[in-house]
Structure 1
Amino acid sequence: MTPLLLGSDIYRGSSYGTWHPLRVPRVSTVLDLTRAMGWLPASQFRTSPRAKPAALSVWHTPAYLAALQHAEVSGAVDKDARARHGLGTVSNPVFPEMFRRPATGAGASLLAGELLRDGGRIHNPGGGTHHGMPDRANGFCYLNDAVLGILSLKRAGAVRVAYVDIDAHHMDGVEYAFADDPDTLLISTHEEKRWPFTGLIGDAGVGQTFNLPLPRGLNDSEMALARDRLMLPAVELFAPDAIVLQCGADAVDEDPLSRLALSNNAHWDLLAALIQLAPRFLLLGGGGYNPWSVGRLWSGNWAVLSGQDIPDRLPPEAEAVLRGLRFDGNSRGRNPPEHWFTTLRDAPHIGPVRTEVSDRVTYLAGRIVDMPGLSV
């Protein structure tokens, strides 16, 4: 199947609020930038459907879905809905598209599972909402499209699914769903001592969950070690029918909500290696709160997924997209460096591999052969 990108114009102009980290344009930037690069012909774009409550209830509770829809219509939540469902909070505010927007991202992941029945590669940059819980919003995530995408892949015939998550924040919602499922491999790299404060290195589920908390200042060399000694060997040995990669952009150096320091090369290198390891591949977005780093990284993701060459210098049309972005109210947006406008690729962040990183990777790599259901 020709690689597909699933998106929607609902993300254009939709915001969690003028003060919220998700006020910045993200998916719309990816669509504009990939089109400006000539990478997204109409034949490779599919408008994401909006998932209906019946489809979402395969994991989310009907009561929660009803409360989420009611909050969108009424523009408010009462204290009971706030307490039970986590709606109307600082992290998960009431905003005009608070059901329709996440239902669009979830609709794309649900559709992707069906479209990948016979193999292929799909990018859903509006997905990656990995914190959502069955009965409540959590960490900017009203629905959990990652869980829904995995379930859709399994319904479409993928028995074994590997889920890899390189967001700066731990995949607590996905782990809640699949930690006890031996047919789902879970691998998460995330910043230690950062919300949601889950994903400790000893949290192993029934043996196929690998949590790698990493220290501040994580560089490309350290991520390459985790990739080559843990992530790729575990996925290859697991031999999945499908891979889902949550590619949060908040692990790159320029993000305001984390203190990891990767270049976007680390994400692209992992993606390029993973797409070789399963016939079905679903690539999701995730965190990322600097519009330039998100747009550049996720557009490069599509280049890798669809076999495009990333040029050293962007053409004028693509540069205009990046120069048109604004990041008001944040120090990183007041004086953006010139390369945020003219290139997609960051300078590699090569550095020493700290002992604490190598020790954790070595410990988890030693557990790979203990994954259930393997004959090694």
Structure 2
Amino acid sequence: MSSEAGPVDITDASAAVPIFIGSDVYRGSSYGRWHPLAVPRVPQVMDLCRALGWLPAAQYRTSPRAKPEGLTLWHTPDYVAALQAAETDQHVSVAVKDRHNIGTTANPIFGEMFRRPATGVGGVLLAAALLRHGGVIHAPGGGTHHGFPDRANGFCYFNDPVLAVLGLKAQGCDRVAYVDIDAHHCDGVEFAFQNDPSVLLISTHEENRWPRTGALEDRGCGNVVNLPLPRGLNDDEMALIRDELILRKLAEFRPDAIVLQCGADALDEDPMSRLALSNNAHVSIALALRAASPRLMVLGGGGYNPWSVGRLWTRVWGALAGQAIPDVLPGPASAVLQRLEWTGLRARRPVAPHWLTTLKDPARGGPIRNEIRQRIAAHGRAMV
């Protein structure tokens, strides 16, 4: 049977039962041992959820691989063909490298460089189809928000968040909200929808962090909400942002569906940013968004500490699926975390004891800085 995505049967979808979309294409697939994405991510989430008994067959779907016609809903045919050829040949010409930004340090040639991101797109397109009648879907293999139509960017070959929004619109959602809490600004998604009034984009991201886009003043046609944040962002500050900005904008917009990019690189332990959130902040946002729309699709995104990213995305799934989160992990789940290795250039922090024994981070509260209040207030006027 082909692994590519064809017509989707949604007759088994239930708005009352959250669905997890995963794939073993991520197991053993790596950008290279030196790369920040050398760390395991989606496989350990699947393994943790199974060890906890949270992935019954009725709630799990294997992600198909998107066909070229699905990818070219936004990406150019030449670019899709270039990625397919690069995976087959395992090299690119200088001309292809310059044109499409593949074969670079950030976006290297590796064994699954087409199949892996195409599977991420297949997962979000499947999710969009399953959400036709409402519900909640977690697809941690998605979230590659930096890709552009004809070039890779920031470790992202395809932009599955863009295709997730387009997929939801194809299923009849007239108003789609995209909320991105990754430490890095979603430049590719903003490029796609900055002039589309039917899409609300909200991005919280660290200021002066690559790609250094997403300024407070960047509003697109009026439905782009950028909130650059200072270093050291704490849980109490994020709670204020959730209540006074994200939920307020969603209430004004009244979306038919929400896509949440749940990047784990905004956590304190992550080596690729200087924000200081606990995973409590991400879980609280995911649950708040679940109540804000009849359809919620939760994607992964950034995250370069294997323990913090796996624990976060597992905990998000458990919360969305209504599972009781244990204070102390049972032996089989703890064993998954104990087997992890942190390779690559960013493996700098010693393993904290609670990374191996619990999904819950200690709370990381603190004072709410005036500059954050002022930046929220800058978005105070109602949208057109």
Query: What is the TM-score normalised by the length of structure 1?
Result: 0.97
Q: Which residue is equivalent to 2:19?
A: 4
- Cα distance between partner residues in 1 of 2:346 and 2:59: 37
Partner of residue 81 from structure 1, selected from 63, 86, 96? 96
1:176-207 CA-partner distances (Å, limit 9, x unpaired)? 00011111000000000010010000000111
Residues 144-159 of structure 1 correspond to what in structure 2 (within 5 A)?
Answer: 144-159=159-174
Q: State the distance in 1 between where 2:138 and 2:344 align.
A: 30
1:111 matched to 2:121: no
In the other structure, the counterpart of 2:39 is: 24
Distance 2:345 2:367 in 1: 30
**1:240-259 matched pairs, under 5 angstroms:** 240-259=255-274
1:170 is aligned, of 185, 205, 210, to 185
Letter in 2 for 1:344: L
What is the CA-CA distance between 1:355 and the residue it aligns to?
1.3
Residue among 205, 221, 225 paired with 2:236: 221
Q: Tell me, yes or no, if the aligned pair for 2:35 and 2:344 is still in contact at 8 Å.
A: no
Q: Does 2:360 align with 1:360? A: no
**What residue number does 2:72 align with?**
57
Q: Equivalences for 1:117-156 in 2 at 5 Å? A: 117-156=132-171
Aligned AA (2:257): A
In 2: Cα distance, 1:155 partner to 1:329 partner: 40
Q: Structure 2: where are the runs of 5+ without partners?
A: 1-13
> Which residue does the alignment assign to 2:219?
204
Corresponding residue to 2:197 among 164, 177, 182: 182
Aligned length: 369
The CA distance in 1 between the partners of 2:137 and 2:316, in whole Å, is 11
1:335 Cα offset (Å): 2.4
Q: Which segments of structure 1 move beyond 4 Å, counting only runs of 4 or more?
A: 329-334
The percentage of aligned residue pairs carrying the same residue is 63
Change (3 A) 1:274 1:348: same
TM-score of the two chains, using structure 2 as the length reference: 0.95
Report the counterpart of residue 303 of structure 1 in structure 2.
Answer: 318
1:315 counterpart = 2:330: yes
Q: Is 1:230 the equivalent of 2:245?
A: yes
CA RMSD of aligned residues (A): 1.0
Q: Partner amino acid for 1:243? A: I
Q: Is the 8 A contact 2:45 2:310 kept in 1?
A: yes
1:196 aligned partner, one-letter code: P
Q: CA deviation at 1:285?
A: 0.2
Mapped partners of 2:192, 2:303: distance in 1: 23
Asked if the contact 1:327–1:334 (Cα under 8 Å) also holds between the matched residues in 2, the reply is: no
* Pairing 1:275–2:290 present: yes
**Alpha-carbon deviations, 1:254-282, whole Å to 9, x = none?**
00110000000000011111100111110
